[in-house]
Structure 1
């Protein structure tokens, strides 16, 4: 019997990696990504917090993130990888231990992580047609994918940027978004 569960289609309102809202088009899940100001005594570093929000964001951006902080990403000097910390648990580790390259001499844009369910998942960049980023489980099933709107395509009352998370993996939404945020950071900073 086919699985007819509806995926979570999270519209990425801005397309900016460190500052956006991800709202499910069916109002089931609302996530926020917000950058904190530079920390005193730590020039060149940045902190990105991912919030599990309780409501859809308004079209006029509210500067105060609504919801509960779930993950804190601390990036190092000049865009280098830093630490990932899961709020409410004792899990905190260097990002390069959380997201490991899939091959010693392979590209940085193919990395795997072990999620809270004990399973391993892998992000790849442009490995499948029409998907900017693809996340697969260890059996090769697509878990999530992310696409930015092509500049030549019109957008009608939406941004056109979408993170799709398939329903069986919805419980990993925060981890999927956190790992995607790091992967996009790696691409942007050529790490």
Structure 2
């Protein structure tokens, strides 16, 4: 039997609900957990990094599932158009259109690039590879960084949702950036922005 270090296995975050406003992203090997929260009537989506499986925390305290400061805030306009992205730890904010820019002026809104916290440029594209709903690569397409896959309709549901965000080992240091940019991309798609 060949043993593999968890450092060489991709982060596989199960997206519990596939909703862009309230869901949990839990790694199947319990290495990292995120909770995405948007309160009813609010325009701010908060992304929290959790110390335990986010779904356990949500089930334990339905009124206040999280404590502490979010790692990223996504503030949309009241009409759901793009607003501001904020990183409380570094006390920086910028317009989402500046953070996640279209690849070309006349190009698709569903293909955009962003500069992550590591200073490198990455890009998202919609259904550019077979069996991947969303694909993130390095700006020059030399490396596959992450991909988001929805559960195929014919797949039975057991204890998992079947929706997953897979982040490859060399890019786990930007997991929060990848998650935030994915949520914005999915928001752009959902609202035809």
- TM-score > 0.5 by shorter chain: yes
Deviation at 1:38, TM superposition (A): 3.0
Q: Which runs of 5+ in 2 are unaligned?
A: none
Between 1:62-71 and 1:131-140, the stretch displaced more is 62-71
- State the partner residue of 1:147: 149
- After TM superposition, the structure 1 = structure 2 runs for residues 36-185 of structure 1, keeping only pairs within 5 Å, are 36-38=39-41, 46-56=43-53, 57-58=55-56, 61=59, 62-63=61-62, 64-66=64-66, 68-140=69-141, 141-185=143-187
2:30 maps to 1:27:
yes
The count of corresponding residues between Structure 1 and Structure 2 is 183
Indicate conservation of the 8 Å contact 2:77/2:83, yes or no: yes
State yes or no: 1:13 paired with 2:16: yes
Residue 159 of structure 1 and its aligned partner are, at CA, apart by 0.3
Residue-by-residue CA offset, 1:46-97 (whole Å, 9 max, x unaligned):
1100000010122973432335410000001211000000012121011000
TM-score where L is the length of structure 1: 0.90
Name the SS for the 2:173 alignment partner. Answer: helix
Question: What is the TM-score with the length of structure 2 in the denominator?
Answer: 0.89
Q: Which runs of 5+ in 1 are unaligned?
A: 40-45
Deviations 1:75-127 (A, max 9, x none): 01211000000012121011000000001100000000001111000000000
> Aligned partners of 1:24 and 1:187: how far apart in 2?
25
- Give a deviation string over 1:27-55, Cα, whole Å, max 9, x none: 0000010003435xxxxxx1100000010
C-alpha contact (below 8 Å) 1:11/1:161 kept by paired residues: yes
